[in-house]
Structure 1
Amino acid sequence: MLQVGQPAPDFTLKTTTGETFRLSELRGRHVVLYFYPKDDTPGCTAEACSFRDQYEDFQDLGAEVVGISSDSEKSHQKFTAKHNLPFQLLADEKGEVRKLYEVPRALLGLLPGRVTFVIDKKGVIQYIFNSLSGATDHVSNAKKVLAGLPA
C-alpha cells in the first residue's frame, strides 16, 4: 500500500452528477479520501452518514471529503439522495483508482477494502487507516489527524 509522506496519486473519475473530478483540482485544501466496499450496506452507510453528520467539522478544518467505491454513478446517486450526503462519491467501476492507491481486498480477498487517506494541501499523504470493521473510526481518526495539520 502507499505510505505516509508519499504524494497522493492524481486521478480522474466521474461524480454522482456526471461531472469530471480530478484530485489535483483540490490542491490547496486538505482531502479525506475514503475507499469503501459498497453503497447501502450497513458498515458503508454508517461510515457515509458519520462523514455527513460531521461534514461541517471537516469543512472547518479546511478539508473536503470524497468517497470512492466500485459502484456505478447511478448507485451513488441513489445512495447520496437517500442519505442526503453533502460530499462527492466517485464511481471507480473498473477499480483502477483502488489499484492506483493499492487498497487491499478484505476478508480473504472477497470484499473491496475500507481505507481512508488524509491528504494535505500540498497533495502529500499524511495518514492512512485500513480497517474493514469500525467504519466510523475512519471518520474520527481523520478528524484527529486534520486537527493537527496546519490550517
Structure 2
Amino acid sequence: MAIQVGDEAPDFNFTHKDGSSVSLKALLQKKKAVVLYFYPKDDTPGCTAQACSFRDSYESFTEAGAEVIGVSSDASTSHDAFASKHRLPFTLIPDGDGSLRKRYGVPRSFLGLLPGRVTYVIDSKGVVQHVFNSQLQATRHITEALDVIKRLQS
C-alpha cells in the first residue's frame, strides 16, 4: 500500500562506509523536514537532471530547514561516483533489495519495467505532507517539494 499525504513516514536507516549514518528518526529529532525522493538509476539523463536540480536548489531546502535524500537500487559505489561526478551535497541511499521502495509503496512504471520516480515531503513530525509521482517530469519534483517546504516553514 502506497504511503499517502497524512500518513506517518516509515523510518529508514543507512550506515555509510565511514561509519556515519542517516535515518529519518535522527533527522526528525533535529526538527528537520525531509525530502525523500526515489529515482530509477544513477547517471541516466532524467535522473541526472533531477539530482542536479536538487543540487542547484539544495541551499534553498537547507535554509528552509529541510534535508534532501535520494534513493535508488544502485549500489553505494555507484552512488559515490554519481555524487562525486555531479557534486551532489545530499545523501544517496542504496536500496538494492527494494525494501525501502516497497515500504513507501513506490510503484514501478512503464509496464512495470522501471522503478518509479516519487518524491515525498515529510514534515519535522514525520508526517507526509506531499507526494509527487511523475516518471517524465523529473525536474518538477524539485519545484513541487520546495513549494511545500516553504509553506511548512511559514
State the TM-score bracket (shorter-chain normalisation). over 0.9
Matched with 2:11 is 10
Q: Tell me the CA shift for residue 15 of structure 1.
A: 4.0
Matched with 2:149 is 146
Counting only pairs closer than 5 Å after superposition, residues 69-148 of structure 1 correspond to structure 2 as 69-148=72-151
Change (3 A) 1:144 1:7: same
Q: Tell me the CA shift for residue 17 of structure 1.
A: 5.1
| Structure-2 separation of matches of 1:148 and 1:16 | 35
Change (3 A) 1:107 1:55: same
| Alignment RMSD (CA, Å) | 1.3
Matched with 1:30 is 33
Q: Deviations over 1:68-126 (max 9, x none)?
A: 00000000000000000000000111100000000000101000000000000001000
Change (3 A) 1:15 1:90: farther
Q: Percent identity of the aligned residues?
A: 56
Q: Deviations over 1:49-69 (max 9, x none)?
A: 000001000011110000000
Q: Tell me the CA shift for residue 12 of structure 1.
A: 1.6
Query: Structure 1 regions of 5+ residues with no counterpart?
Result: none
1:54 aligned counterpart, secondary structure: helix
Alignment TM-score, normalising by the size of structure 2: 0.94
Alignment TM-score, normalising by the size of structure 1: 0.96
Query: Structure 2 regions of 5+ residues with no counterpart?
Result: none
2:79 touches 2:92 (CA, 8 Å); kept in 1? yes
Q: Deviations over 1:4-51 (max 9, x none)?
A: 011100022244756332111100101000000000000000000000
Matched with 1:45 is 48
2:65 touches 2:153 (CA, 8 Å); kept in 1? no
1:14 touches 1:73 (CA, 8 Å); kept in 2? no
Change (3 A) 1:16 1:33: farther
| Structure-1 separation of matches of 2:72 and 2:22 | 14
Aligned residues: 151
| Structure-1 separation of matches of 2:129 and 2:97 | 26
